[in-house]
Homo-oligomer: A and B are copies of this chain.
């Protein structure tokens, strides 16, 4: 599927950070940056720019904050065309500062928001756009939103200078026909903007839903190395690059990074096809119940977990 406009964003460090408290080592991040640069990936997302008031620095690793100087330290001396993005939660903006884009290593700021916080998201998006950044707004948890409110949010976004709006399947609940419906809805209400997709893999549908997005003209695609991410994780970057026939991509550095860095990491932290997350995805629920259950000695009692989930929904 060759389409020149397609851009791939690797969210390994950002989404993977949700399962290791954003504490990847500098070497890991630097090696990932090198591998992604060699692979021709378009964007690498380093993490969140979080409020240090809300999130004290002794509680998290560096990628919870993504200070410009920290990013510079990592990429120093590496020749690369890879753009850098960071994420900001719209509802958690406090004192975080943003330098003008031409004085920052960051190219794109992605504002994560719920529909209810769309005004906060737009306020932040306008501010960082004025500073010269590329801007994406990622509306989370849409599988639970009512469509009236969602369309209102999209119509508001249409009036802003935001470059990209992302369809985010936070709960890993969508299947192909719903992805088609949503991508078409976004395109209809957001003329002239690029549509992105960020899919979770609860039901082994992250890659196929990303393909579905491509078919319906989403051009910005999120994926992560070996699918790392909270719970089931994301669309696997290696699958996506294998599918996209764009000659600018090179799969080998990705495979090499996975064998050298992701396999050892998965010995320490879990992600992937794990049934409690499959069940929350199937029932269109936030994964928090599964996260809690995986931390108990009963973590593999799937039938019991399922019955408990159903009871909780009654």
Contacts and interface: CB of A to CB of B under 8 A. Distances in A.
A207 B207 contact: no
Contact of A303 (B201, B208, B252): B252
Nearest to A257: B303
A282 B208 contact: no
A302 interface: yes
A71 B274 CA distance: 32
A290 interface: no
Chain B CB within 10 Å, residue with most, of A206, A272, A300, A302: A302
A166 to B, nearest CB: 20
Contacts of A278: 238-239, 242
A212 B209 CA distance: 12
A302 B236 contact: no
Given A258-B275, A259-B303, A273-B273, A204 B203 contact: no
A242 B302 CA distance: 13
Contacts of A28: none
A243 interface: yes
B236 A175 contact: no
A145 to B, nearest CB: 22
B175 A303 contact: no
A93 interface: no
A302 B206 CA distance: 22
Contact of A252 (B207, B236, B251, B307): B307
A291 interface: no
Interface in A6-23: none
A191 B122 CA distance: 55
Interface in A206-243: 206-209, 211-212, 215, 227, 236, 238-239, 242-243
A255 interface: yes
A216 to B, nearest CB: 12
Contacts of A207: 203-205, 208
Nearest to A243: B175
A151 interface: no
Contact of A208 (B176, B242, B252): B176
A301 interface: yes
Contacts of A251: 306
A263 interface: yes
A176 B177 CA distance: 12
A204 B208 contact: yes
Contact of A177 (B215, B239, B307): B215
